[in-house]
Chain A
């Protein structure tokens, strides 16, 4: 049909699924190019019947991550779990939802227990890979020392933190991963500075980077392809690795159960939750914001920030949160060329 007499139209690059570029699967692409989650053969490492709340981001994130890791390892892996929601809702006697060898020891020691499992595998000459997982409390607070030790020794463990920004298992208390201004049971929306303090922040992925470990990444349940790619990449590397996944909690954040993924998406799109990768101490990639939104659009959907919008006008702290987003956007280079 091309004719030299016709004006040349720049041929658009043929994507195979404009329709579903960001969907879990797509009937048009080869199985290998679809997300692990699209496969009827996915391991469902975390299977039905668990007792997570409706729309639980952590349940989702855990299945995403572990299924991907199981694909990457040919199911030859063991998971170690910190105490927390994930542990409680998956393994109340007499039923477990896990479908892989899984060990729960304590709240603060998942990283160390995983180190032990990995050591046992090494000494026994087995190739079995090890993942440790926990919530933000078990990772950034009580498990932090063990985590840092595991990093520093470069133990062959992938640690996955499902970050729902608080102690949700015990009834939504503040953790060091709780964002400023957020209301929790221990940072109530009372007094002149309602909600969580504007502290100095404790972004464990960057602390992980400071350990110069082979691989660090952040991800969200809103971008499955990115998450799976990172987990699979991590499983292809030996040594200490860390992935922190943003997993919204409908209960703790005060949002409808159907908004879980949307909130994770908006957390990224406003710049509050930077998505990046680092290798051996250097940041190597950042996921660009696709459709930038003001942080307000993210906050206003959640009851934990309701006090910021109470009197008809925005609390000045919304601007402070926006400043945090802006700093992230600048620091991590989160805008694409056309947005910048």
Chain B
């Protein structure tokens, strides 16, 4: 068109004016560490696998999940999910039900028969794993994926360790555990049962193992001295829970007292109820707030009729009754005796006061150090003995399945590096994506989905699983509650809110990049990024 001079201009001609020169701060896309990932003892990339799940690609989600943890169906049931405690969504409404989605994915994988992809190449190295508990299984899995030949020697008759002998069936059905272990074995991992290793060096030499990972767990119950009469029945929690796996169920009587305040105490009390006890009373010397057991487990136990006696210690056990002393907390929160006593009826007393490790297999291993009843390990999980690594409950840490799985993975990587003559160094961690980094406005109100629970009446009589999985729609919903803290989820906000059209959209999965020719550095993209994936950095002049 013939234009009037100066008054009429050709469309879009301002592209010649590069306003990027105005900028004093430049936006940059960053990755920040989501708090769930940071909190996960198993080192799962929770946000990563949730992002597949929220798109409905459950197999991809499961594969992403199992890059770090081979036991999602188990973990989805027994993990105490510190990820959810850390979850930023908790500050908006409620944490994302990560555990529930993991549960869903694990079950779906089993139902669909998804298998791990075997490694492309094999090494010629052999690794011994002692113990087929979560740490051992995890280490074996990761080592197998790295191409190493792995043999697990397990003292017991079945795999799972504490997952089998410590966690009641109503929390973890055994078919689930068996199926996930079988999938690990499918990678070529050999498990030898009833093979208690009593001399590590001998066993390694005998088998020609190049390295060993020890994860025998902590199966020896701690005892407390309690004056007791003759006919009294005092058992320990490990014994009770383990015997649940056998043919003969433990005889606990009508009134069962459990002594202790941890999750194991709850497990025992709930098991007792299921075995027909009319009363299951937990005696704990401190208050509910101080109790180490998880709140949700306590809630479930209370629902099932488990009773609690706070601020009490058992002073004497007699036939059919026990004597407890009332306690009071001092300023430091430590329980002090009051001198007041009370008698409770009890057919049996189960002690759930913690467990110790059986360290006998380590006798004579040079360089190995024991401290506070556990094996000292370095940051790479290696003990003082070269090539001997340890993890799980026998290493210093919190004793949970998830920690154990994390130990196994970490150790596997370190063993792999060791076998290649190097040292494993994990990559640098991103800065934490704390809640302040987010712009929570953009997230819709979406309360957490609660997994369906078994009716109370049936819980007291059966060992059916109490907490059931989500169905697909609820799992999808839950996955989509993830805020994607610290990592771009392609919401297009930066692309939309830039007043200067200086954000280039690269297409699905590709994210965005800045057009610094036009970006004036206003910072709107950074402040309106929901997940804190944009940082403003001063321009160098």
Query: Taking beta carbons and an 8 Å cutoff, which residues of A are in contact with B?
Result: 1-3, 5-9, 11-12, 14-28, 34-35, 37-38, 40, 44, 46-52, 54-57, 59-60, 63, 90-91, 93-100, 224, 250, 256-262, 265, 291
Task: Judge whether A49 and B523 touch: CB under 8 Å.
Answer: no
Task: Judge whether A7 and B491 touch: CB under 8 Å.
Answer: no
- B471-506 contact mask (Cβ, 8 Å, vs A): 1 or 0: 101101100111110000111110111011110010
For A51, the chain B residues whose CB sits under 8 A away are 14, 17, 19
Query: Taking beta carbons and an 8 Å cutoff, which residues of B are in contact with A?
Result: 6-7, 9-19, 22, 54-55, 441-444, 446-447, 449-455, 458, 468-471, 473-474, 476-477, 480-484, 489-493, 495-497, 499-502, 505, 507-508, 515, 517-518, 520-524, 526-528, 530, 536
Would A5 and B477 be within 8 Å (CB), given that A23-B442, A48-B500, A95-B14 are in contact? no
**A41–chain B nearest beta-carbon distance, Å:** 10
Task: Judge whether B495 and A38 touch: CB under 8 Å.
Answer: yes
Task: Judge whether A93 and B18 touch: CB under 8 Å.
Answer: no
Complex A-B, nearest 6 residue pairs according to Cβ-Cβ distance, in ascending order: A21-B444, A25-B492, A24-B496, A258-B523, A49-B14, A55-B522
Task: Judge whether B499 and A52 touch: CB under 8 Å.
Answer: yes
Task: Judge whether A258 and B527 touch: CB under 8 Å.
Answer: yes
**B48–chain A nearest beta-carbon distance, Å:** 14
- Identify which of B10, B14, B469, B496 contacts A90 (C-beta below 8 A): B14
Query: How many contacting A-B pairs (Cβ < 8 A)?
Result: 215
For A93, the chain B residues whose CB sits under 8 A away are 6-7, 9
A42 to B505, CA, bound (A): 11
Q: Which of B458, B469, B520 has the most CB of A within 10 A?
A: B520
**B533–chain A nearest beta-carbon distance, Å:** 12
For A91, the chain B residues whose CB sits under 8 A away are 9
For B13, the chain A residues whose CB sits under 8 A away are 94-96
**A43–chain B nearest beta-carbon distance, Å:** 10
Q: Which residue from chain A places its CB closest to the CB of B518 in the assembled complex?
A: A48
A46 to B518, CA, bound (A): 13
A1 to B507, CA, bound (A): 37
Task: Judge whether B508 and A19 touch: CB under 8 Å.
Answer: no
For B476, the chain A residues whose CB sits under 8 A away are 14
- Identify which of B55, B471, B480 contacts A2 (C-beta below 8 A): B471
Task: Judge whether A11 and B14 touch: CB under 8 Å.
Answer: no
Would A25 and B468 be within 8 Å (CB), given that A50-B500, A100-B11 are in contact? no
Task: Judge whether B9 and A94 touch: CB under 8 Å.
Answer: yes
Task: Judge whether B452 and A7 touch: CB under 8 Å.
Answer: yes
For B454, the chain A residues whose CB sits under 8 A away are 5-6
A291 to B439, CA, bound (A): 13
Task: Judge whether B54 and A19 touch: CB under 8 Å.
Answer: yes
- Identify which of B11, B55, B527 contacts A28 (C-beta below 8 A): B55
Task: Judge whether A97 and B14 touch: CB under 8 Å.
Answer: yes
Would A23 and B524 be within 8 Å (CB), given that A18-B443, A18-B477, A95-B16 are in contact? no
- Identify which of A7, A22, A97 contacts B441 (C-beta below 8 A): A22
- Identify which of B55, B499, B530 contacts A20 (C-beta below 8 A): B530
Task: Judge whether B489 and A20 touch: CB under 8 Å.
Answer: yes
Task: Judge whether B442 and A96 touch: CB under 8 Å.
Answer: no
For B491, the chain A residues whose CB sits under 8 A away are 19-20, 23-27
